[in-house]
Chains A and B, each alone.
Chain A
Amino acid sequence: MILAWMIIVLLLGGAGAWAANRFSALWSRYISLLALAIDLVLVSVAASRHGQTRIGQWLVELNLNWIPPFGISLHLGLDGLSLLLILLTLFLGFISVLCSWNEVQKRVGFFHFNLLWILSGIIGVFLALDLFLFYFFWELMLVPMYFLIGIWGHENRVYAAIKFFLFTQVSGLLMLVAIIGLYFVHGRTTGIYTFDYLQLLGTSISPAVAMWLMLGFFIAFAVKLPALPLHSWLPDAHTEAPTAGSVILAGLLLKTGAYGLLRFVVPLFPEAAKAFAPAAMTIAVIGILYGAVLAFAQTDLKRLVAYTSVSHMGFVLLGVFALNEIAMQGALIQILAHGISTGALFVLVGALDERIHTRNLDNMGGLWAVVPRMGAVTMLFCLASLGLPGLGNFVGEFLVLFGVYPINIPLTVLATVGIVFATVYSLWIIQRAFHGPQREYPRLHDLSPREVGSMALMIATIIGLGLAPQPVLNTMRPSVESIIQGLGVGNSKSAVAGSPGSLDQGGAH
């Protein structure tokens, strides 16, 4: 039941925060923090009580009947992969509440209600082991996010909210069709009509049908990720959302797409995924380069950071479809590191916007002299973004590249060039905002203690991921290994690099 409580606590917390607003806005904020804290305790209890997972096993599992006639159940399961993503969710949840402390002043209760409901939807997505339930949570995150952008966003918020809603909703419906298709295919072949993930694993499907069903899932996840050419909702949504919304979008919602690829697309349709891998990897690399060039062109700082997500998430897609352990572990590290680094950049952009009331780079410059602490922290996360060794993103990106090289050298080379492009836009941020001649500013105050506290946590995490990522890698190893095992043997081309067999190839020349 502990898994269900994680979701329920946030739902209740959201309702409580809304109700508490009658008394004081501050109460809404405190109740939100409390709900997140309780969840954190629950997760730690769940994780510590059950220790390490072995391959193909769940740390904690919950399976209750829901709608038995249709084979729908409340099936939740926690493994290393979902554990890490839930920790990231709660971490960024705290950051989101903290960074909205001053920014959000209207309808504070309803704001926190939406915030917590999105988070509970996200946690549900990371836990669901029933496809119907998964779809339910998938939609649950969507609606409150729509409100969050549409009500508390910036100037062009309604356009952005509708665009976000349409993209996700249409692609979500495709997934629903694919889910129902899979349900019937499985039912016809085995006689058991069920939405249960574990039973659907290993369903024998004809290659053509598998490809279509796989694409249904893939498109839904590719929109979220986002992958080219389905990315164009993202810059608008990220730019117009309030800071907390951008943090959750970039840090978490995009990750549900990556999670979906790892949890559903690859294990449910291993053969189709293998066949589709070259195309997916090509899309990924184009996204890396395209996003980076577009980021460089932007003058709205928030939009710039939004486009960097398109570029960085390309590495995740690339790593997942390399279909080997090194690249997949890299993709996971990249998911976590990008969540932290981009989340932090959005918080910083929001904090800057609060102070100078602009996001336009043309109106900035020389801020280092005025707010040096802010400059130094922004510099650090820009460096993370350009893949500086010692910070988390480097480990993610390089593991992906090490994993992809044996499979496809040209794509590896192009993706590596993407890191040069990342250097260009990251240094450009620093130059335009913090370096250069100082402009006239109203009296600015540097990061407040609350901001310093949340930044310090994020800095410690990104450095920890960069220098000692091993505990994280160990936590997700069983999940990754079971995905790789599910792909079966005969996948020699993407076998782990550097095996003794590959040594001989070199000697022959």
Chain B
Amino acid sequence: MLDWLWLIPALPFAGYIVLALAGARLSRAIVASVGVGSVGLSTAVALVAGVSFINSPPSNHVYSQTLWTWISVGNFTPRVAFYLDPLSLVMTLVITFVSFLIHLYSSEFMIDDAGYSRFFAYMNLFVGSMLTLVLADNLLLLYLGWEGVGLCSYLLIGFWYQDPANGRAARKAFIVTRVGDTAFAIGLFLLFTHLGTLQIQEVMQRAAQHWTMNSPLAIAAAALLLGGAVGKSAQLPLQTWLPDAMAGPTPVSALIHAATMVTAGVYLIARAHVLFSLAPPVQSAVAVIGAATLLIAGFSALSQHDIKRVLAYSTISQIGYMFLALGVGAWSAAIFHLMTHAFFKALLFLAAGVVILAMHEEHDMYKMGGLRRRLPLTFWTFLIGAASLSALPLVTAGFYSKDLILWSAWSSPSGSTWLWIAGLVGALLTSLYTFRMVFLTFFGEAKYEVNYTPGNGIRLPLIVLACLSLVGGIVELPRTVGGQPWFSEFLGSALPALRYVEGRTHAELVLQIVAAVVSLSGIYLAYLFFLRRRVSADGAARSMLGAALDRFWFGGWGFDWLYNKLFVTPYIWLARTNKDDFIDSIYDGIAKLNEVFYRALSQTETGKVRWYMTGIALGAIVAVAIVVFL
């Protein structure tokens, strides 16, 4: 059954081609069945492949399939080939399954949009590229998928292209991530130059053989790949594009900017974990970036009014957790959180989409309220997603994955108490901003008359994702709750397990209780602030310091301002100033000079013989003088 592996990315691509060529002439029903169907079929093939992979694992838990040789020059021979191991299988399953649900949701959600077929064409192209990214057997093909998803992100953020603001957000996303990709590309040049291959497994093997721990080349290579990862995954310092990316339709935010594409950086680092293990300083940088990002984004999420922007900052913050896990060597914990996050964050976005639709494109949470009676299913599923995001103890998937990260930050050899505290503060922020969102949107008095009931196309994905957000955690249970680490055991052949520091492991139950208390107290604080209004959040925000902080956080800590001053404005100034190309004026100068000489000399052309005679005589004298005196 694994022979069908190539079909998994090929089916969405085929859907894209059909829709791109004929989409405008097809009816909406056919467009939807091509768009949703291609991804559905791809999901089915992935499930079959997954079952057969688990039941009868190929040798070494690896299956690879070569389609054709892409380029062959000298020893540069990247192929178009796919590589299936437990890590790429998990990624494939998450991507296909979540994509299918979101496509199904979109078939109803986008039904009134004029660009229906264009939407599904881009979405299918995205799914195909994303699957190419995770299944690629070499880094160049991975880069193809990497750029492909970036393109689709650009196309879909700017989907409603008539509004220039959407175009600006789309370009910003593409250009900022491409800055990261530049580092990634240079990393590829370095790896190929020194290791002579781009095939991922070969690169890792040769790196481990030829490079010692802390060798400058390993550090440079890991740092360059990290550059690509922070761009795509919206981590410090390239996180600025993601909040603006919310300009796209909500299913796009759910699929690309929450569940799949933005986690590509996490996948890349996990995939290249050998390289990062050879470069401890870079790996520590990954942890620090993760910790800093999760805090910065958490604070920003707290002061947003736009429900989608809260979720966007929350995504940045949650990917920060994944980076934290990668940074302390808890590879499978990062992938675990990637998976649960894909479920609950996609769910939150999809539910928020229903709210926005019901509110007629209103994004401001302060204009919402009391929606729990009007949109009961949306309310309950959103609540489940929020609980999972806040890591509500024991009953949610988010609890298990986040707890594993906190635990690893504490007990890993490269972890530290500081990283653990950062994660804990982040957890408090998370449940605070999440339930602020829940209370503002669904509780309080209704400010708006809502008459909207979602159909089955929307309800089904919400219910399925809600179930997964609750029970998705049972694949990896900590020792204190049953102790069934199936997930990390399954990934074991691709991602090495974390070795805990012996002295710190006895505290596991205590740490879990602390984390649980923090999560619950965040919810309680949100209840006090935003529902009971015992403590006035507005009052705090009105004080001088509060207002300043609120503005600072709201604007994403001034990064946009800084980058505008540092890069955008100078670039535009430079381009404008030299619009007419100063080099050209040199040639114009030569032409002008010629003209001056021509005019000057043509003055002498008077037609008067006296002047000509004088000229000849003077010339003769000068010539004779030169001969005589030199």
Measured CB to CB, the residues of A under 8 A from B are: 163, 228-229, 231-232, 235, 293-294, 296-298, 325-326, 329-330, 366, 368-369, 372, 376, 383, 388-390, 395, 398-399, 401-402, 405-406, 412-413, 416-417, 419-420, 423-424, 427-428, 431, 434-438, 467-470, 473, 477, 496-500, 502-507, 509
Task: Decide: A232 and B581 in contact? CB cutoff 8 A.
Answer: yes
Establish whether residues A427 and B171, one from each chain, have CB atoms under 8 Å apart when the complex forms.
Answer: yes
Contact A420 B175 (CB under 8 A): yes
B185-205 residues with Cβ-Cβ distance < 8 A to A are: 185-186, 188-190, 192-197
Residues of B close to A469: CB separation below 8 A: 70-71
A390 to B125, CA, bound (A): 13
Please give, as numbers and ranges, the residues of chain A lying within 8 Å of B579 by CB-CB distance: 294, 297-298
**Interface pair B148/A390, CB less than 8 Å apart:** yes
Query: Which residues of the partner chain B approach A235 to less than 8 Å between Cβ atoms?
Result: 581, 584
Complex CA–CA separation, A232 to B575 (angstroms): 16
Residues of B within 8 A of A500 (CB): 196
Report A-chain residues with C-beta under 8 Å of the C-beta of B163: 437
Is B179 in the interface zone, CB < 8 Å from A?
A: yes
Which residues of chain B have C-beta atoms less than 8 A from A468's C-beta? 68, 70
Query: What 0/1 pattern do residues 586 to 616 of B give for CB contact below 8 A with A?
Result: 1100000000000000000000000000000
Within 8 A of A (CB), among B58-90: 68-76, 80
Shortest B174–chain A CB gap in Å is: 6
Contact A424:B175 (CB < 8 A) given known A231-B583, A232-B581 = yes
Q: Which residues of B contact A416 (CB under 8 A)?
A: 182, 185-186
Q: Determine how close the nearest CB of chain A comes to the CB of B89; give it in whole angstroms.
A: 24
Bound complex: CA of A325 vs CA of B182, how far in Å?
23
Contact of B147 among A388, A395, A498 (CB under 8 A): A388
- Closest residue to B171 on the A side, CB-wise? A427
- In the bound assembly, the distance between CA atoms of A280 and B186 in angstroms comes to 21
| B243 CB–A CB distance under 8 Å | no
A424 to B179, CA, bound (A): 11
Interchain CB contact under 8 A, B179 and A402: no
Q: Is the CB of B162 within 8 A of A437?
A: yes
- B158 near A509 (CB under 8 angstroms)? no
Add 8 more A-B contacts to A366-B161, A405-B192, A413-B186 (CB < 8 A).
A293-B574, A294-B581, A399-B71, A402-B188, A402-B192, A470-B71, A497-B75, A498-B197
- B151 adjacent to chain A (CB < 8 Å): yes
Please name all residues of chain A whose beta carbon is closer than 8 Å to the beta carbon of B72 when the two chains form the complex: 470, 473
B215 x A509 contact (CB < 8 A): yes
B571 interfacial by beta-carbon distance below 8 Å: yes
A501 to B171, CA, bound (A): 43
Give Cα distance in the complex from A143 to B72, angstroms. 41
Q: Is the CB of A467 within 8 A of B70?
A: yes
Assembly CA distance A509 to B571 (angstroms): 39
Complex Cα gap A498–B162 (Å): 48
Stretch of B206-214, B298-306, B338-346, B404-412 lying at the A interface: B206-214
CB distance from B116 to the nearest CB of A (A): 13
Chain A residues with CB below 8 A from B571, complex form: 293, 296, 424
A-B CB contact pairs (8 Å), 23 listed = A231-B583, A293-B575, A296-B575, A298-B579, A325-B73, A366-B161, A401-B185, A402-B76, A423-B178, A424-B175, A427-B170, A428-B171, A436-B162, A436-B164, A438-B162, A467-B80, A470-B69, A497-B74, A498-B194, A498-B197, A502-B193, A505-B194, A507-B210
Name B's A-contacting residues (CB within 8 A): 20, 24, 68-76, 80, 140, 143-144, 147-148, 151, 154, 158, 161-164, 167, 170-171, 174-175, 178-179, 182, 185-186, 188-190, 192-197, 206, 209-212, 215-217, 571, 574-576, 578-579, 581, 583-584, 586-587
A506 touches B164 (CB 8 A): no
Among all A-B residue pairs, the 8 with the closest Cβ atoms: A498-B196, A297-B575, A405-B189, A389-B144, A435-B161, A232-B584, A509-B215, A507-B210
B211 / chain A contacts, CB cutoff of 8 Å: 506-507, 509
Q: Which residues of A contact B167 (CB under 8 A)?
A: 431, 435-436
| Chain A residue contacts of B189, Cβ below 8 A | 401-402, 405, 412
In the complex, A113 Cα to B295 Cα: how many Å?
70
Name the residue on B nearest A366 (C-beta): B162
CB of A298, distance to nearest CB on chain B (Å): 7
Give chain A residues whose Cβ lies under 8 Å from the Cβ of B158: 435
A405/B583 in contact, CB under 8 A: no
Chain A residues in 8 Å Cβ range of B586 = 229
Give Cα distance in the complex from A507 to B195, angstroms: 10
- Interface-centre pick from B71, B206, B209 (highest chain A CB count, 10 A): B71
List B contacts of A228 (CB < 8 A): 583
- Complexed CA–CA distance, A305 and B543 (Å): 54
> Given the complex, which residues of B lie within 8 Å of A368, measured CB to CB?
161
- Whether A376 lies near B20 (C-beta < 8 A) is yes
Residues of chain B with a CB closer than 8 A to A232's CB:
581, 583-584, 587
User: Which residues of chain A are near B587, meaning CB under 8 Å?
Assistant: 163, 232
Which residues of the other chain, B, contact A395 by a CB distance below 8 angstroms?
A: 71
Q: Which residue of B lies closest to A412 (CB)?
A: B189
Min CB–CB distance A305 → chain B (angstroms): 15
* Complex Cα spacing A325 to B73, Å: 7
Q: Which of A405, A499, A504 contacts B190 (CB 8 A)?
A: A405
Q: B217 is contacted by which of A229, A499, A509 (Cβ under 8 Å)?
A: A509
A297 to B586 Cα, complex, angstroms = 20
Alpha-carbon separation in the docked complex, A114 to B403 (Å)? 75
Are A329 and B575 also in contact (CB < 8 A) when A390-B148, A438-B162, A509-B212 are? no
Contacts of B212 in A (CB 8 A): 507, 509
Q: Establish whether residues A423 and B175, one from each chain, have CB atoms under 8 Å apart when the complex forms.
A: yes
A424 to B581, CA, bound (A): 19
Chain B residues whose C-beta falls within 8 Å of the C-beta of A326 in the assembled complex: 73-74, 76
- Taking the closest CB of chain A, its distance from the CB of B589, in whole angstroms, is 12
Q: Judge whether A473 and B74 touch: CB under 8 Å.
A: no
- Verify B151–A388 contact, CB threshold 8 A: yes
Considering residues A383, A417, A435, which has the most beta carbons from chain B within 10 angstroms of its beta carbon?
A: A435
Would A503 and B196 be within 8 Å (CB), given that A420-B182, A498-B75 are in contact? yes
Contact call B194/A503, Cβ cutoff below 8 A: yes
Question: Is the pair B185, A398 in contact by a Cβ cutoff of 8 Å?
Answer: yes
Complex CA gap A417/B181 in Å reads: 10
Q: Which residues of B contact A388 (CB under 8 A)?
A: 147-148, 151
Q: How far is the CB of B453 from chain A (nearest CB, A)?
A: 32
Cβ–Cβ < 8 Å partners of A437 in chain B: 162-164
Please, which residues of chain A bring their CB within 8 A of the CB of B76? 326, 399, 402, 497-498
Question: Distance (Å) between the CB of B450 and the closest chain A CB?
Answer: 31
Are B154 and A390 interface neighbours, CB within 8 A? no
In the complex, A369→B163 CA distance in Å?
A: 13
Give Cα A502 to B197, complex, Å. 12
> How many angstroms from the CA of A498 to the CA of B140 in the assembled complex?
16
| Nearest residue, chain A, Cβ from B590 | A166
Q: How far is the CA of A456 from the CA of B26 in the complex (A)?
A: 21
Closest to A376 in B: B20
Q: Is the CB of A506 within 8 A of B195?
A: yes
A196 to B269, CA, bound (A): 57
* Chain A hits for B69, CB < 8 A: 470
Which chain B positions have C-beta within 8 A of A419?
A: 178, 182, 185
Which residues of A sit under 8 angstroms from B215, Cβ to Cβ?
A: 506-507, 509
Decide yes or no: A503 and B164 within 8 Å by CB, A326-B74, A405-B189, A413-B186 being known contacts.
Answer: no
The reply to whether A383 and B175 form a contact with Cβ atoms under 8 Å apart is: no
Knowing A326-B74, A368-B161 are in contact, say whether A229-B583 is a contact too (CB < 8 A). yes
- Shortest CB distance B153–A (Å): 13
Roughly how many angstroms separate A181 CA and B76 CA in the complex, as a whole number?
Answer: 40
Q: Write out the residue numbers on chain B whose beta carbons fall within 8 Å of the beta carbon of A390.
A: 144, 148
Q: B193 touches which one: A294, A424, A435, A497 (CB < 8 A)? A: A497
Cα–Cα distance between A496 and B73 once the two chains are bound (Å): 10
- What CA separation (Å) do A228 and B582 show in the bound complex? 12
Nearest CB to that of B579 among chain A residues?
A297
CB-CB under 8 A from A298, the residues of chain B are 579
Residues B195 and A498 in contact, CB atoms below 8 Å apart: yes
Nearest Cβ distance between residue A190 and chain B, in whole angstroms? 35
CB-nearest residue of chain A to B154:
A427
